[in-house]
């Protein structure tokens, strides 16, 4: 029973300022003007901002699509590199 409660707590996230800004379409403009050059140095901040944009934005944003495509590409590349490594060891 305790495991279920802790699992539930990890999945529930509080509504943050980022979320409110994304919902009102202000966050993407803020990021385009002020944060974009510095956001790459803070990956956790970047991840939080894009997560809020993905979840709460009222429109589809190319920046968000590109961010998630890059993340997917890196994960798939890592997976394929590991598969190639395993295949080379078998030979």
CA distances from 37 to 30, 41, 68 (A): 12, 8, 18
Work out the pLDDT band at 28, boundaries 50, 70, 90.
Answer: confident
31-85, pLDDT tens digit by residue?
887 766 667 678 888 888 889 999 998 888 998 999 999 999 999 999 999 999 9
**Is residue 11 scored above 60 in pLDDT?**
yes
Structure confidence at residue 1 (pLDDT):
47
pLDDT at residue 86 tops 60? yes
């Amino acid at each position: 029973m305790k495991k279920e409660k802790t699992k539930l707590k990890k999945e529930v996230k509080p509504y943050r300022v980022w979320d409110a800004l994304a919902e009102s379409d202000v966050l993407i403009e803020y990021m385009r003007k002020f944060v974009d050059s510095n956001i790459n140095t803070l990956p956790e901040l970047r991840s939080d901002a894009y997560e809020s944009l993905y979840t709460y934005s009222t429109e589809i944003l190319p920046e968000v699509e590109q961010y998630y495509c890059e993340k997917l590409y890196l994960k798939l590349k890592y997976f394929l590199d590991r598969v190639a490594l395993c295949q080379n060891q078998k030979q």
